[in-house]
A and B are shown apart, each in its own frame.
Chain A
Amino acid sequence: MAEEEEKEVTLLGTWSSPFVLRVKWALRIKGVEYNYVEEDLRNKSPLLLQHNPVHKKVPVLVHKGRAIAESSVILHYIDEVWPLRPLLPHHPYEKAMARFWCKFEADKLSPPLWRVLTTRAEEQREAQASSIESLGLLENELEGKKFFGGQTIGLVDVWLGALAYIIPIYEEITGLKLVDQSKLPRLCGWMEEFLSSPAVEGTLPPKDMLLPRYAAMREAFLAKAKGPAQQ
C-alpha cells in the first residue's frame, strides 16, 4: 500500500489501548515519524492478521515491512534501532533492574488493579490492598528521582505511564482511593510530571470517552459474576 510505504514505520493500534500508548510515547521520545493505523478489534483488518498472526492483537510495529508484536518486545526494538535518547540504562545491572520493574507491574500491579475495577465487596477490598502494597514498592523506587529513569523518562516510566491516567479513572468509577497523596507522595508527583511531559502531552485518550468505557467493563464483569455479593 502506497500510504504505508511513505514512512518507514507503521503502528497498528487502538485509541484506548495503554499498550499502544507505550509505543507511541517511545516513538515520540525518539523523534521517529510513523503512520498510525486505527484497528477495530471486533473486525480485525487483513493487515493486522498478516502482521500478528499468532496473537492478532495490538500494538504491532511494522518497520521496513517487518512486524514486531508485544509492547515489551517493541520497546526494546525501538531502543535498539534508534539509540539516541536511550530508554534503557547503559549498564547491564541497571538494565536488569528496569526490566524487573516492568515485569513487576505486569505480575503484581496490573492484575490486582484490574480486580479493583471488575469486582466488588471483599474481593475488591483485597484487590485494593494488594494494589496499594505494590504501589508502595514503586513509591520506594522513586526515592531521590524525578522519574524511574532518573532525571529523564526511561523504559520504566513509559511502561508504567498509563497508570498515571488510568488510576484516577478507576478511583472515580469505584469510589476507592488507590494513590493517596499523603501516603504515596512521590508517586503522585511522578504522575503529574509524566502526564505534563512533552512526550506525553496531547497523546492521552479523551477522558470523556475512556471513563464510560471502563465503567461499562465494570458493569459487564459484575453482571457475569455468580450470585449477588453483600455490600
Chain B
Amino acid sequence: MAEAEQVKVLRSWLSPWSFKVELALKLKGVPHEKVEEDLANKSPLLLASNPIHKKIPVLLHNGKAIPESGIILEYIDETWTNNPILPKAPYERSMARFWSRFIDDKCVGACWMSCWTEGETQQMFMEQARASLRILDDELGERKFFGGESIGLVDISACFLSLWFGVLQEVAGISLINGEEFPNLCRWIEGFVATDAVTECLPPRDELLATFQSKKQAILATKSMVY
C-alpha cells in the first residue's frame, strides 16, 4: 500500500539512469519532484543521501534514500503496485532480472566504449557490442516490448540503447545499431521513444546532442560515463 507521498528524484537531465527512475514513476502515475544535480558541484542533499557512492539517481521517499537505479526500480515496483514493471511469477521475474543485468553488464559498457575509442580497440569494443546486441535482438524477437504488450523492467533497463546511444553514435561517427543487423532492436527503439510516458520523460535530442558534442574531448580523455 502506498504511503502519503513525498517523492523526490535526485537526477541529472543528461542521465539515462535517472531517466529510468522517472519513467517508472511516470508509468505508475506517482507525482514526484525532480531535483537537478550539478555533478561537478554535488549538493549536500546528494552527499547525505548517497554518502558511499555520491551518485545519481537517488530516490527520496518520505525521507528515506534509495540509491542505484536497478535497486530503485524494484523498490518502486514493490511500493506502488499498480501497472507492474516486473512480472508476477517467479520464473518470469527471474528472466526480467537476467536480461536487465545482461543489458547493464554486456551491452551498455561495450556500446559506450565503441564511441570513445579508435583503431583496433574500437574494433574490439564494436565486436563485443555487436555480439551482445545480437543476443538481445534475438531475445526480443517479434515482441513489441521486452515486457510484452507494455513497457517492463527490461525495456526500462534498455533505455540507453534508444535515444542516448543514437546520439552518441552520431557524435562518434559510427553506426552500430542498424536496421539490417538488428531489425528487432530498431523496431523496439522506434516504438519505445514514441510511447507517451517515454516521450514525456526523455531529454530533448538536440540538447543532448549539443552537450555530448561539447563534452567530446573531455570524455575522450577519460572514457568515463560520469560526465
Contact = CB atoms under 8 A, between A and B. Distances in A.
Q: Is the interface of B mostly helix, strand, loop or mixed?
A: helix
Interface string B35-73: 000000000000000001000000001001011101110
Instruction: Across the A-B interface, give the 4 residue pairs with the lowest CB-CB distance, nearest first.
Output: A92-B78, A80-B90, A96-B75, A77-B94
A54 B135 contact: yes
A30 interface: no
Contacts of A54: 102, 135
Contact of B93 (A76, A99, A100): A76
A70 B64 contact: no
A50 B91 CA distance: 17
Interface residues of B, number: 22
A96 B71 CA distance: 6
Interface residues of A, number: 23
Interface of B: 52, 61, 64, 66-68, 70-72, 74-75, 78-79, 90-91, 93-94, 97-98, 101-102, 135
Given A93-B66, A103-B68, A76 B97 contact: yes
Contact of B74 (A69, A81, A96, A108): A96
Contacts of B75: 92-93, 95-96
Contacts of B74: 95-96, 99
A68 B94 contact: yes
28 contacts: A54-B135, A63-B91, A68-B91, A69-B98, A70-B98, A70-B101, A72-B97, A72-B101, A73-B94, A73-B98, A74-B94, A76-B93, A76-B94, A76-B97, A77-B90, A77-B93, A77-B94, A81-B90, A92-B75, A92-B78, A93-B66, A93-B75, A96-B66, A96-B72, A96-B74, A99-B68, A103-B70, A137-B52
